[in-house]
Chains A and B, each alone.
Chain A
Amino acid sequence: MSERILPGLQLEKVDDRIMTLNVGPQHPGSGHMRIILKVDGDYIVHCDPDPGYVHRGEEKMAEYRNYITNIPHLERPVIHDSCNILYPYCLGVEELLGLEVPERAKYLRVIAAELNRCVYTQYWLGIYGIFLGHSTMFMWPVGDRELFIDLLEKMTGARVTHSYFVPGGIRNDVPPNFEDVCLRHVNYFEKRIKEYADVFYDNPILISRTKDTGILSREDAIKLGTTGSVLRASGVDFDIRKKEPYDVYEEMDFDTNVLKEGDSYARSKIPWLDMFQSCRIIRDALQKMPKSGSVRVKLKPNPRGGDTEVYRRVESGRGTLGMHIVSKGKPQPYRLKMSVGSFRNLIAMPHLLTGEKLGNLPPVYWSLNYWPVEADR
């Protein structure tokens, strides 16, 4: 390693026993962030996450763009779950401008949001498999999610980064025979994800690597403010789709999955169980959707809000996503703050990793459902 000192990196005193390791931005097991570890032999003594490698300044850029032109860049923190990031933004702006969304648009929004949740969870499961060295578990989910990406391409025109939700509804209607194709794909998908149990969840190697590692107790999960599957794996029943329903989720029939153990195995199982519920919601919504109708409210050019603020939240693939929009009567928002699930779960990382063995880093770290690009915004 060369002795060139880069600006801003810290020099440390060298200890005899404790070694500092960078699980850095270029590492097969780290994603787009760095974790600075201090290890004593095989045990992690101190852990310091270092995000910010993909910090692109979304919140500052949002203050210079109108409500409509904000949509493409706000959806890029998680490009394959883009509908769920735009959801609280659209709900908040509709509250600011006083818009009423048509019924058919609400059902189509719910369908798009659930499809996106499955697409995200499949990719996350794929990366989880490959971190543990299970390459079949990379190929199966990444291949199966292509079915839903095809459906989304029919709906929206793009594989990822759909830019489909606008304040006032959705951009355009679905093609004519969409309902039959969607139902066929969803039925096949549900059969496929049942097979993951044989290859992954009942696999004795996975069970011995992830059971009883990184246990997060119920009190700690509540105190640290974690969210999403991390919270539900520790025994807290909290899902925004049930507690504060938005759009037409009150009419949908689904359950919330809760497990009590709080270890990495439970955290890796909850998103898979949630995918079955997503299939139920999609079938329900396809049945109850009105067969025709408008899907968008026409907006005036350069819409402005009053002198108010809103805070709306939505259940995305990683947890609660909240948006705080302050408006001052101009066409641009005065302040836009995104409170993302990955950033809120980041605080559990030093808490869980301290005291663990170094080999347990991938199962514990990725089971926190952490998407680094979203946490950095």
Chain B
Amino acid sequence: MVDDLVVAGRSKGLPIINKINTHNANVFIGKLGDVLYKAVDKPLGMAINWGRLWSLWPVHIETACCSVEFGAASGPRYDVERFGIIEAFGSLRQCDLVVVQGTITRKMAPRLRLVYDQMPEPKYVIAMGACAITGGLYFDSYNVLPGIDGILPVDVYVPGCPPRPETLIQGCMLLQEKIKCMKPR
């Protein structure tokens, strides 16, 4: 159909108008869209996702005992900084990952939701430890929330009490796999 246009353009006169009808124009725009998607949008989306998954910055919020294993994961032996996960010391407006480390009590729950709401999109949540998944060992305590599913949308659950630092790193890698398949919103 491109030849039609080229041939029509060379004739320099009115007869070209009946070659450019709506059907041909629709087909042209459709094929142009496919080419643009393959050439520009898909690689751009992959580049954006690549940038996001290698620089996940967690918010500096320590909720309970699993924070010790998170601290050990940031140490020199289980270096989680090589994945780009640096516990940024700025404000939470620059972070995009909330790692809920451990038990959430009734006093902490509104604050956790406030922190999540104040973060800009895109944001991800990892529930670390048995207490964050279902309440864990403290399932019958009067002050403990049975899991954070009710207040935050969780992406990855990392089980353990506390999970070893290697398990936490595997959880982060699962989150990276998930981000790779997401549409860059």
Query: Could you tell me which A residues sit within 8 Å of B by CB distance?
Result: 6-7, 24-28, 31-32, 52-57, 60-61, 64, 72-73, 76-80, 123, 126-127, 138-139, 142-143, 146, 149, 159-161, 373
Contacts and interface: CB of A to CB of B under 8 A. Distances in A.
Contacts of A55: 105, 107, 143
Contact of A61 (B64, B69, B140): B140
B107 A52 contact: yes
A26 B115 contact: yes
A227 B65 CA distance: 23
Interface string B119-158: 0000000000000000001101111100000000000000
A160 B72 CA distance: 11
B110 interface: yes
A160 B69 contact: yes
Given A26-B61, A26-B92, A142-B71, A79 B162 contact: yes
Given A26-B115, A143-B77, 18 more contacts: A26-B92, A26-B111, A32-B62, A32-B64, A54-B64, A54-B103, A56-B105, A57-B141, A57-B142, A57-B144, A76-B65, A123-B71, A126-B75, A142-B71, A143-B75, A143-B76, A160-B69, A160-B162
B108 interface: yes
A73 B138 CA distance: 8
B111 A25 contact: yes
B60 interface: yes
Majority DSSP secondary structure for residues of A touching B: loop
Given A26-B59, A73-B137, A160-B68, A139 B75 contact: yes
B137 A72 contact: yes
B180 interface: no
A56 B162 contact: no
B55 interface: no
Nearest to B141: A57
B64 A27 contact: no
Given A54-B105, A55-B105, A79-B162, A25 B137 contact: no
B60 A26 contact: yes
B49 interface: no
A28 B17 CA distance: 68
B107 A53 contact: yes
A26 B67 CA distance: 13
A370 B125 CA distance: 29
Nearest to B65: A79
A78 B66 CA distance: 10
B176 interface: no
B28 interface: no
Contacts of A139: 75-76
A142 B141 contact: no
A140 to B, nearest CB: 8
Contacts of A32: 62-64, 67
